[in-house]
Amino acid sequence: MKYLYVSIILFLMCNSTLAQVSNLGGPILFKEKLVKTKSFFQTPAVDNLGEIEVEKERSLLSKDKIFHFGKEHTVSIDVFAAAEKTILPNGNLLYQFGIECKNAVSINLMFDKFELAQGVCLYFVDMEHKKFDGAYTSLNNNASKMLGTELIYTQKGIIEVLVPQGKEGLSTLHLGTIIHGYRNLNEMVKSLNSSGSCEIDVNCPLGAGWQNQRNSVAMMINGGAFCTGSLVNNTSGTIIPYFLSANHCGTTPGSWVFRFRWESPEGSADCATTAPSIDGPTTMNINGATLCAANATSDFTLSLLNTAPDPAWGIYYNGWDRTDIPATQCTGIHHPAGDIKKISRDDSQALSSEFGGGTSNSHWRVPSWDQGVTEGGSSGSPLFNQNHRTIGQLHGGASSCGAIAANMNDDYGKFFYSWTGGATNSTRLSNWLDPSNIGSMFIDGVDPAASTFVVDGAVSNSRINFETVCGGNLTPQIDIYNSGSSPITSATINYGFDGLTNLTYNYVGTLNAFETQTIILPVESSLINGNHSFKAIFVNTTATDENPLNDTTTAIFTTIVGGEIISLELTINCYANENSWEITDTLSTIVFASGGSYDDTTPIPIIDSVCLEKKCYYFKLHDSYGDGLEGTTIPVCANGEFSLYRSNGDLISQLLPIDANFGNLSLTKFCLGNIGIDEKIADNEIQMFPNPSSTNLTILSGFKMDKIEIKNLTGQKVFENKTAIDSISIDISSFSKGMYLVGIYSEKGFAVKQLIVQ
């Protein structure tokens, strides 16, 4: 596809150096024998260790993944009015404004009014180590009239402004915030190697094949904190520097700094060892952006960078997927703890979730990282599906190096939810990333320095509906899309199962640039029980396809012919980490499905489904503490409950809140299909007497009865015994008069008998 490239190209000479972004050129204080100012504006004292402890506590409570490194001091300083002015021999003016933050590890600045005349150069100078940040020039002017600087590792620094003769009074420079960096030097020198030892540099073998996505990610310096974000593509055919990150990282990007391509070189990367990462370049920076849209529910911000990153940096604009289809593999690329770029991987399917008691299904949960984790500073980083498309950005979670398996999860705001967001341009992604309302469900990324395609049809997102897999009559679905500029009017999809592509589907229609369409393939009913694979190949018959890399899609699945879907609805209001469940075919052998233990922030109710063959099973709900799902009064926490349903909606078993204290185990036996009838215990195998009765009831059998329960006709349970016995005497003198149902369960089968209480 032919892309237009949107950027502003300005040329400005400053100290005989071409300046486009910061860190170019050099301050005059380092080049000339000039007296540095001895007047310094002092910020209030900061307890560095105290601030670190406060941030640790805040992070534990919020579970977000922002990394605070500095104390922000709000000031109001007109730099030109407050600075020391010197007239140089050539008639140019030199302004110096000193800043001192006692005991600071670093200083960075945020100008809330920034507009420089052509030829004016701004630097921030480190007195002790002769380091500097700049030059900033009129090239950095922007619509928000704000600017943030990179960090300088010092306690004292000087703002230097060089104004050419005749340019005095034409610029505005107002300092609004001074950030006192309080992290120790080992953590804060570019924060290199500040993340955990389980983190994996992005250029390790795990990052092979993810170079494009790597190149989209940037570290953000937003005042006194670090976050992460990434560039995203749009459907206009024009490359626009849109940058996706997290709402909780802030919504005023005018003074932020975006650091691209900060990564350890290939061949020198640290791959989850205690060895230090090798530093990379820190000069590929963009200063400032304008907020386009934001939404707290799915925790996203979309900003327009003030300047498009130079394509020569190796920049990439990510593709995205706005469907609600769970990723089968999850990959994150991020800057944990403000450290050099890392990559994390989870090979399990993403789960629909929420974060911190928020809106249900607004997030994707990575269940448990297999390699790497995220940390503070990773907030806003992209989550990619198996097709290398962005599906969300990091909100927060429990994962960390050394965490137990149950706490290795993280939640990402869904791209799906953010697409429509709050239904306005300023609260959703759709108007910005699909400005012509093409309706694309997903698009691929783009490298602005690479050639693009005119003819490029493709196939993606192969999937087989869970309900059809469970029945054996499969209905495969795929998505076809046009990633080229020329319309596609016809195509052939060759597809098949278990290594074959012997079936054909012919597409006829019109698929314009960036358009997608879901294809429902014919029903397949020939597969037997077991594991299978599916493969589809897109063959463009309109013209020769120029890009074969996106022409194939695959899926793996397991069929249970004639199976039935069982649904569990579980409410755990207290101490979810104590509870887990499993479905087995006998009391202790094969586990067909399981869940938990859960994190205490798990969305309630927990809803899960499993496909089972038609035979008998046990549902076992465990509580490690021994008080079942019982709640507490301090703090107030209601009793829990669960319901287990068949596919037709029939209730298999139910635990009501009044019965929540079941001890360590709640046990239910159930049977599916005709097997439940076949395994019904014959009436003559169980004796129940006297019946009718008003005092005592005796039940006898020739085998162990695992559970006996008595319910009234409204379904309320009035008696239950879970101890394996072959006889029992039950006191029914307190029962109200009427009819009751007595359920008897064992490995032999089950029986339901009627009891009349007089």
User: Which positions are catalytic?
Assistant: 248, 299, 379
How crowded is residue 520: how many other Cβ atoms within 10 Å of its Cβ? 11
Q: Following DSSP, what letter does each residue of 230-278 receive, concatenated? A: EEE--TTSEE--EEEE-GGG-S-GGG-EEEE---PPTTS--BSSSSPPP
The length of the chain, given as a count of residues: 758
**Token duo for residue 175:** 């300092």
Nearest CA among 576, 602, 570 for reference residue 357: 602
Closest CA to 505 of 532, 527, 524, 486: 524
Q: Given strand 564-571, what is the order of strands in its sheet? A: 606-612, 564-571, 641-645, 651-655
Structure tokens at 498: 């278990």
d(CA 526, CA 549): 30
Contact 99, 40 (CB under 8 A): yes
To the nearest 10°, the Cα dihedral for 721, 723, 724, 725? -70
Cβ contact 382:318 at 8 Å: yes
- Tell me how far the alpha carbon of residue 713 is from its chain's centroid: 48
What token pair was written down for 356?
A: 């911190």
Using DSSP's 3-state secondary structure scheme, residue 418 falls into helix
Cα 38 to Cα 80, 122, 179, 190, 390: the distances in Å are 17, 19, 21, 28, 51
Q: What H or E segment, with its residue span, contains residue 58?
A: helix 48-62
The gap between the terminal CA atoms of the chain, to the nearest Å, is 84
For residue 105, which phi and psi values (nearest 5 degrees)?
Answer: -85, -35
